[in-house]
Structure 1
Amino acid sequence: MAAAVDLADKEGRDGVTMRAVGKRLGVEAMSLYNHVRGRDDILDGMVDLVFAEIELPELSAPWRAAMRQRAQSAREALNRHRWAVGLMDSRRNPGPATLRHHDTVLGCLRTNGFSVRQAAHAVSLLDSYVYGFVLQEVSLPFSDGEDLQELAEEIFSALPKDQYPYFTEIAVEHALQPGYSYGQEFAYGLELILAGLHPDEAPSP
């Protein structure tokens, strides 16, 4: 599984084939069937390894701090393994790290006064934000400030002057400022979500 994760980190999820994993381990692909039923088992194990990298809270930890840390840790893990974004909750056979992750996150919310329904709402909201942000983050056509500057120059050179004033404004006055990183937007959105969650005051569905 670790070999498959390493392979996916370098070549993407589609690069993980039985033959490729076998080659990485120095064995024939058929040898792998002594340990797994097929590629799906390998994908299940890969997802479980990524879940194992996410820092989990103590059940009795203050829930906002715990959910903040867990969300930040999940984002970091998904940025290390960018192929995993669309796989994390798609597997039909979750492994022990996956199950422990979900149980611990829900347990922290429940022991902090969230009802079953409120805990479900909170996890769904937080996971949607984390996965959605990372999906957008890894899809951006730039990786740092220099790339962003070059991209902006390319876009603006092709646009009619003054036709898109608000797009130009946010680029010049925000995104193109020294030290800007798109990842900084994550903390802002996360704090808004955490501020809107309340164990005893969650809105009715």
Structure 2
Amino acid sequence: MAEQTGTLRRTPLSRDRIFRAAVALADEAGIESLSMRNLAQALGVVPMALYKHVANKDELLAGMIDEVVGEIDPPVPGLDWKPALRQRILSARQVLLRHPWAALAVESRTTATPAILAYLDSVIGALRAGGLSVDLTHHVMHALGSRALGFSQELFDDSRRAGRSGPVESEPPTAPPPEFAARFPHVAEIATAAAHDEASVVGAGCDDQFEFEFALDLLLDGIERRHQQGWTSHHPPR
């Protein structure tokens, strides 16, 4: 251990090294457990050494987000806009599933980081290169929302949004209490309607990977149809 710490101390400290270590710590124990003190300990330095490279916790979090976004696969040359967009979004989703804290970290920010802006710029560029108008592309980005970055709010399970790391243990869905079913019959009907893979991201509840791709494909099919119809926000087809 002493030899390992000595090696860490001999390795020059840099912003990239700090961000990589912070991501690893958040992956292991959750973002709520990350502090400048335990990050410094993991890097084998005193906490003040971090502040020579990172001004504060907010800047650290922004760098961690950019580190994660950098793992998203680059665009595949030659693909049409629809499969290209699907591939990138599903790649973004896989990255965020590897880093369960990252989606909530992205949502919590009031300004986008440079890596997020670059990613969104490339998504918009793919749509524009596919012939979609500026008008349609504007509304497409609103429709996609956070799904463009690979995540969306789960209707029946919020464990991912809580930033938990690792597989989620959950009990199989059970019938809601009679008073709930009586008051909200349609919600009760669908809440336990589908049996999904127990190895899904949210355990034995809704398979959010399946639901995510289902919604994404609905959106992409609708976008393609609007594009073929020459849709504009000023004169939408009836």
Query: Is this a same-fold pair by TM over 0.5?
Result: yes
What's the counterpart of residue 5 of structure 1? 23
Number of matched pairs: 197
What's the counterpart of residue 190 of structure 2? 170
* SS of equivalent residue, structure 2 residue 104: coil
The letter of the residue matching 1:188 is: F
* SS of equivalent residue, structure 1 residue 68: helix
The alpha-carbon distance between structure 1 residues 44 and 91, as it changes in their structure 2 partners (threshold 3 A), is farther
Deviations 1:20-41 (A, max 9, x none): 2111111111000121112122
What's the counterpart of residue 137 of structure 2? 119
Matches within 5 A, 1:86-105: 86-88=104-106, 90=109, 92=111, 94-95=113-114, 97-105=115-123
The letter of the residue matching 1:113 is: G
What's the counterpart of residue 106 of structure 1? 124
What's the counterpart of residue 52 of structure 2? 34
Q: 2:209 aligns with which of 170, 183, 198?
A: 183
Structure 1 residue 177 displacement after superposition: 6.1
Matches within 5 A, 1:138-149: 139-140=158-159, 147-149=170-172
What's the counterpart of residue 89 of structure 2? 71
Runs (5+) with no aligned partner, structure 2: 1-18, 161-166, 199-205
Judge conservation of contact 1:47–1:84 (CA < 8 Å) in 2.
Answer: yes
- Is 2:231 aligned against 1:202? yes
The alpha-carbon distance between structure 1 residues 139 and 117, as it changes in their structure 2 partners (threshold 3 A), is same
**Matches of 1:8 and 1:193 in 2, distance apart?**
32
The letter of the residue matching 2:233 is: S
Judge conservation of contact 2:72–2:91 (CA < 8 Å) in 1.
Answer: yes
The letter of the residue matching 2:178 is: L
Q: Root-mean-square deviation (CA), in Å? A: 3.2
The alpha-carbon distance between structure 1 residues 69 and 38, as it changes in their structure 2 partners (threshold 3 A), is same
TM superposition score normalised by structure 1: 0.77
TM superposition score normalised by structure 2: 0.68
Q: Greater RCO between the two (CA within 8 Å, min separation 6)? A: 1
The letter of the residue matching 1:5 is: V
Structure 1 residue 135 displacement after superposition: 3.5
- Is 2:41 aligned against 1:23? yes
**Matches of 1:161 and 1:85 in 2, distance apart?**
31
The alpha-carbon distance between structure 1 residues 134 and 11, as it changes in their structure 2 partners (threshold 3 A), is farther
- Aligned identity (percent) is 34
